[in-house]
Amino acid sequence: MTNHYIDFRNADVILNMGGNVAENHPVSFKWIQEAKNRGAIFIHVDPRFTRTSTKADIFARLRSGTDIAFLGGMIKYILDNNLYDEFYVKNYTNASFMVNPKYSFDDGLFSGYDPSKRSYDASTWALEKDENGIPKRDMTLQDERCVFQLLKKHYSRYTLEKVTAITGTPQSDLEKVYAAYAATHAPDKAGTVLYAMGWTQHTVGVQNIRAMSIIQSLLGNMGIAGGGVNALRGESNVQGSTDAALLFHILPGYLPAPREQWQTLEDYHKTTPATKDPRSVNWWKNRPKYLASLLKAFYGDKATKENDFGYSWLPKLDKTQDASWLNLFDEMYKGTFTGFFAWGMNPACSSANAGKVRQALAKLDWMVNVNVFDSETGSFWKGPDTDPKKIKTEVFQLPCAAFMEKEGSISNSGRWMQWRSKCAHPPGDAMPDGEIMYDLFKKVQALYKKEKGSLPDPILNLKWDYETDGKFDVHKVAKEINGYFLEDIPEHPVDKKEYKKGTLVPSFVYLLDDGRTSSGNWIYCASYTEAGNMAVRRKKDDPTGLGLYPQWSWSWPVNRRIIYNRASVDLEGKPRNPNRALLKWDAENKKWVGDIPDGPAPPMGTEGVYPFIMKPDGVASIFGPGLKDGPFPEHYEPLECPIEKNLMSNQRINPVIKIFEGGPDTFATCDPRYPFVCTTYRVTEHWQTGVLTRWLPWLLETEPQMFCEISQELAKLRGIENGEKVFVESPRGKVWAIAIVTPRLKPFVIAGQTVHLVGIPWHFGWLHSKDVGVNANRLTPTVGDPNTMIPESKAFMVNVTKASQEPAKKAGKA
């Protein structure tokens, strides 16, 4: 999140879309309720009327997979009615920038599309620069080639009529939502948006978020209290896990993972973001310091200037390799690799097209399953329709400690790194994950020492000394993540002060590119310093009154609570909303007061630095040329969709998504065998695949079995009674579920056609307990967003039929 949970209470309007916040982030609803207590308006936009909707002042329904149409309509509404924050748009975004004259958009395609490669050459999407390399601008926003006018042109097509026809949302509801949300363009009004998988799990997932970022930039809601673009993250520490780069494409701190074409450190550094504009801070220019420090944390003394700090020991991806989940399991299915760690996850249930994954697991020679309980993954070899005698995979089950049985930090959606104590011993042989990893790798190193292996250097040279008295020490890891001075530094270039070898680095500002500093993750530098473990702090002081609580734990970066906060002030550094003064410039003492500023530089004025310091151009991107599918979000239908034609253009689906074909990867669109749109979701009472929660009787008691929510209209169509068993089927699989017939789901009218929606939770699995049902992911397709490959679990096509041909007993009302 750009902001944080408590900050929700500062909003005047809260939009929850692509998410179901009361059900899936129930504790965060405390802050939304506080905002409501202060008169805030809460809007919920969702295909279903959920527990969240009951608390909404405005509820609007939309068809799964049509968020860009909905948001595109909002952009048009904002522009048509001049409901944008003109000062903010002109000064803090790239709305005034001029775009390459070769850029164009026509009938669903941006310039540079190669249909044979299903990809874009994005060179025509470039922003124009003058002879000094400074972006060309039209500050009047009138030039037809400036971003602002191109934005207007692009979204002029998203009329209310078109949007209604695509989304199924009544025009009056669209206008209600648009009017309420656009009111936050006023400098003294803050609008925040809360979203989750309902936006991300689509083949247009990233562009969904982009659309909202554009809206927040137009309304001046980025970088202010009560504003921002706020992802409600899932696992309690998923934020921590992406920060620590548990994804193929990054290194800790969101540095790009090295690729084959960057053989040397110098090659890698050639890709460091650059700018010629002296007013753009372009903080990523410091990347070489962070990579050098990371490599020193990895390889210690073995990393030297001479050997590029061990850069050659880092694995390199192939030139354009995408090793994300869908591709990973596709390779596993093809037998490309033979060993697999399923660490704290349950892919046999959680993966899109779970049936394919179950087959893939059987191709492995070995698998290590680390979890608190056994799962459908660990026990895949004895699953339904599986003959253990035919499975060659050797499975190692390693029980691990649950969250309260170990010490360490968890980084929440708001980037707050909260340290937790150990309050109970893990049972039996269960160990904390960190201990398992640490001991395992020690053994691997010992084997490499003895047997050499094919490339021993990266293994043997890895710094692996995080123990105290022979036991894994999480504090040593936390300190390594923060980083150390590795030599005495008599006069540091930044502040001229002296720093001693072996002391902890105060913040990433002090990291160097010459091997004299280490840091396991530059964004966490300042979390564990000579002053102590900042994540442990629990002080309730709140000097600004905005709920920042700067001494409650620690947030990255450098304890900044709301990022891009320099956009909350005017050019002189005065808060644009004095009632929610996040930051203000104290001219007398030449410093900022309030939240930690995005850099200590003085206010922007006419010669100072721009506020969006992480962007090469220093401003928010309304035009975003860096994504695979276009610089402006455009509505495309999901891969499996209910209508033959995309009403927006002749490009039915996202033109750059990867199509997996053959074997277990089948799709069906506009197929009468699968006439209903299906979406998947969660309930408060279960967690993910239920791998933890199905084993907890109190939770299973509340939601005991797989269900399928269907509208009364669909129930009538299929003769289904509330509480009776049904089958839900897609081209990939078939599951049973208990029907919940409810007025909370309604059919949509899409381009004059009735389109039914059904919904299923993905919390169940065959292993435990008996008769709870199997996982919804048996039905979902292997297709994902082109930028992130997150699977399209929120919109695909199914059929729903009665399980029994006999008329069902009346089971009572929902």
Partner 1 sequence: MADKSFFIDTTKCTACRGCQIACKQWNMNPATKTLQRGSHQNPEDLSYATFKLVRFSEFEENGKPVWYFFADQCRHCTTPPCKIVADSLNVKAIMQDEATGAVLYDPKVKVKEKDYKEIRGACPWDIPRWDEKTQGMAKCTMCIDRIKEGLLPACVKTCPTGAMNFGDREKILSMATQRLEQVKKHYPKAQLLNHDFLRTIFLVVDDPKKYHKFASVTPETILASLNEVLTPVG
Least distance from C-beta 707 to partner 1, angstroms?
5
Using rule CB under 8 A, residue 236 touches partner 1: no
Using rule CB under 8 A, residue 413 touches partner 1: no
Element at 570 (helix H, strand E): none
Using rule CB under 8 A, residue 26 touches partner 1: yes
Which sign does the torsion angle of CA 547, 550, 553, 559 carry?
A: positive
Burial of 342 (0-12, 13-18, 19+ CB in 10 A): buried
Using rule CB under 8 A, residue 46 touches partner 1: no
Please write down the HEC assignment for all residues of 255-296.
EECCECCCCCHHHHHCCCCCCCCCCCCCHHHHHHHHHHHHHH
Among 17, 22, 410, 657, binds partner 1 (CB under 8 A): 22
State both tokens at 23: 């059900």
Which residues 657-696 are close enough to bind partner 1 by CB under 8 A?
Answer: 683-685
Using rule CB under 8 A, residue 281 touches partner 1: no
Using rule CB under 8 A, residue 187 touches partner 1: no
Least distance from C-beta 28 to partner 1, angstroms?
8
Among 385, 428, 698, 805, binds partner 1 (CB under 8 A): 698
Least distance from C-beta 609 to partner 1, angstroms?
40
Q: Provide the angle, in degrees to the nearest 10, between the axes of the packed helices 147-155 and 67-80.
A: 120
- 797 to 50, 269, 324, 667, 800: CA distances (angstroms): 21, 45, 24, 9, 10
Q: Binding-site residue total for partner 1 (CB under 8 A)?
A: 43
Q: Is there a contact between 440 and 472 (Cβ–Cβ < 8 Å)?
A: no
Least distance from C-beta 409 to partner 1, angstroms?
23
Which residues 147-176 are close enough to bind partner 1 by CB under 8 A?
Answer: none
| Cis ω before 156 (30° cut-off from 0) | no
Distance CA 26, CA 686 (A): 12
Stretch that binds partner 1, among 157-165, 219-227, 302-310, 698-706 (CB under 8 A): 698-706
Cβ-based nearer residue to partner 1, 211 or 700: 700
Cβ-based nearer residue to partner 1, 423 or 814: 814
Least distance from C-beta 49 to partner 1, angstroms?
5
Least distance from C-beta 549 to partner 1, angstroms?
17
Using rule CB under 8 A, residue 348 touches partner 1: no
Among 122, 317, 362, 811, binds partner 1 (CB under 8 A): 811
Q: Which of 650, 639, 623 has its CA nearest to residue 678? A: 639
Put residue 261 in one of left, alpha, beta given phi > 0 → left and psi -120 to 50 → alpha: alpha
Among 470, 493, 672, 812, binds partner 1 (CB under 8 A): 812
Using rule CB under 8 A, residue 469 touches partner 1: no
Least distance from C-beta 740 to partner 1, angstroms?
5
Using rule CB under 8 A, residue 39 touches partner 1: no
Among 443, 697, 752, 806, binds partner 1 (CB under 8 A): 697
Using rule CB under 8 A, residue 626 touches partner 1: no
Distance CA 166, CA 252 (A): 41
First to last CA, the chain: 36
Using rule CB under 8 A, residue 115 touches partner 1: no
Q: Is there a contact between 675 and 711 (Cβ–Cβ < 8 Å)?
A: no
Using rule CB under 8 A, residue 29 touches partner 1: yes
Stretch that binds partner 1, among 299-307, 487-495, 569-577, 717-725 (CB under 8 A): 717-725
Among 74, 486, 700, 798, binds partner 1 (CB under 8 A): 700
Q: Which of 758, 738, 762 has its CA nearest to residue 687? A: 762
Q: Which residues have CB under 8 Å from 524's CB, separation 6+?
A: 243, 253, 417, 481, 482, 556
DSSP letter for each residue of 232-256: --SSTTHHHHHHTT-STTEETTTEE
Please write down the HEC assignment for all residues of 399-456.
EECCHHHCCEEEECCCCEEEEECCCCCCCCCCECHHHHHHHHHHHHHHHHHHHCCCCC
Which sign does the torsion angle of CA 81, 85, 90, 94 carry?
A: negative
Element at 709 (helix H, strand E): strand 707-711
Cβ-based nearer residue to partner 1, 345 or 714: 714
Which residues 731-770 are close enough to bind partner 1 by CB under 8 A?
Answer: 738-744
Stretch that binds partner 1, among 9-17, 45-53, 297-305, 504-512 (CB under 8 A): 45-53
Cβ-based nearer residue to partner 1, 271 or 702: 702
Using rule CB under 8 A, residue 52 touches partner 1: yes
Among 271, 304, 397, 702, binds partner 1 (CB under 8 A): 702
Among 707, 748, 762, 766, binds partner 1 (CB under 8 A): 707
Least distance from C-beta 726 to partner 1, angstroms?
11
State both tokens at 599: 């850099």
Cβ-based nearer residue to partner 1, 657 or 767: 767
Using rule CB under 8 A, residue 723 touches partner 1: yes
Least distance from C-beta 737 to partner 1, angstroms?
8
- 548 to 133, 539, 553, 575, 699: CA distances (angstroms): 39, 11, 11, 16, 33
Long-range contacts formed by 157-162: CB under 8 A, 24+ apart: 157/72, 157/648, 158/69, 158/72, 158/73, 158/75, 158/76, 158/635, 158/648, 159/73, 159/76, 160/73, 162/69, 162/73, 162/647, 162/648
Cβ-based nearer residue to partner 1, 21 or 95: 21
Instruction: Provide the β-strand partners of residue 113.
Output: 120
Using rule CB under 8 A, residue 706 touches partner 1: yes
The DSSP code for 97 is B
Least distance from C-beta 716 to partner 1, angstroms?
14
Using rule CB under 8 A, residue 299 touches partner 1: no
Using rule CB under 8 A, residue 23 touches partner 1: yes
Least distance from C-beta 814 to partner 1, angstroms?
5
Q: Is there a contact between 657 and 786 (Cβ–Cβ < 8 Å)?
A: yes
Cβ-based nearer residue to partner 1, 9 or 90: 9
Cβ-based nearer residue to partner 1, 115 or 812: 812
Cβ-based nearer residue to partner 1, 685 or 792: 685
Using rule CB under 8 A, residue 113 touches partner 1: no
Least distance from C-beta 746 to partner 1, angstroms?
8
Which residues 363-402 are close enough to bind partner 1 by CB under 8 A?
Answer: none
Cβ-based nearer residue to partner 1, 212 or 710: 710
Distance CA 18, CA 4 (A): 18
Stretch that binds partner 1, among 274-282, 400-408, 502-510, 702-710 (CB under 8 A): 702-710
DSSP letter for each residue of 607-619: TS--S-TTSTTSS
Exposure pattern of 267-276 as b/e (b: 16+ CB <10 Å)?
A: ebeeeeeebe
Among 169, 213, 646, 722, binds partner 1 (CB under 8 A): 722
Using rule CB under 8 A, residue 809 touches partner 1: no
Least distance from C-beta 27 to partner 1, angstroms?
5
Distance CA 193, CA 180 (A): 13
Cβ-based nearer residue to partner 1, 470 or 812: 812
Give the E-state strand segments of 479-590 in sequence order. 528-529, 532-533, 554-555, 583-586
The DSSP code for 776 is G
Least distance from C-beta 346 to partner 1, angstroms?
21
Distance CA 638, CA 794 (A): 9
Given the rule CB under 8 A, which residues bind partner 1?
A: 22-23, 26-30, 33, 49, 51-55, 683-685, 697-707, 721-724, 738-744, 811-814
